[in-house]
Amino acid sequence: MERNYFYLTEFSVIILDIREQFPLLPQEETIVIAEELGIKHPADPKTGDPIVMITDFLLTVDKGQGVFEVAHTIKMKDKLLEERVLEKFEIERENRSLSMLILSSFEIGEWKTIYDRLLINLVNDSGTWTSKSLKSIEGQGITVVKAKHSSKGVQHRAEVLLNKLDY
């Protein structure tokens, strides 16, 4: 799935730069965020030392009126059931001040045109996911969930997310 997403972004005329597996630095920030959220920071299993967290893609996008960066994490829907994956998402979202958009469908096999449309809309809408843009793909049998920032705990946010995905 990540490879397909990479190819999509590679051939997009609006994407200036693609950085894969981009480190979330400084590491001290992710450690503090994990502590504040009550989450165990990822660590080396042998030494126990904290490891540098990463985001799948950091894209530099040119919308014609300015350049901005967008971080994207690509995960299969079934991974969202894993508590540890959700915890890491929360650290990443807080570190990059991200809102997360999750797309899922049991019916869609080819995502390229959907990703293309979303990227174009994202650029045209100044880096935000507008209701109009998201409704255009919901009509195709795709569940769209916006995971927003919340002061409630990770467990609560995970439960809300999974309920929205009809698990």
CATH for 49: 3.40.1350
Quote the pLDDT of residue 148: 58
For the cut 60, the answer to whether the pLDDT of residue 3 exceeds it is yes
24-34 average pLDDT score: 94
Could you tell me if residue 21 is left (phi over 0), alpha (psi between -120 and 50 degrees) or otherwise beta? left
Structural domain count, the chain = 1
Q: For residues 132-143, give the mean pLDDT.
A: 75
Question: Structural domain of residue 56, as residue ranges?
Answer: 2-164
Q: Is the pTM here over 0.85, yes or no?
A: no
The amino acid sitting at 11 is: F
Residue 43: strand, helix, or coil: strand
Question: Per residue in 61-84, pLDDT tens?
Answer: 887 888 888 888 777 767 767 888
- Largest Cα–Cα distance of the chain, in whole Å? 49
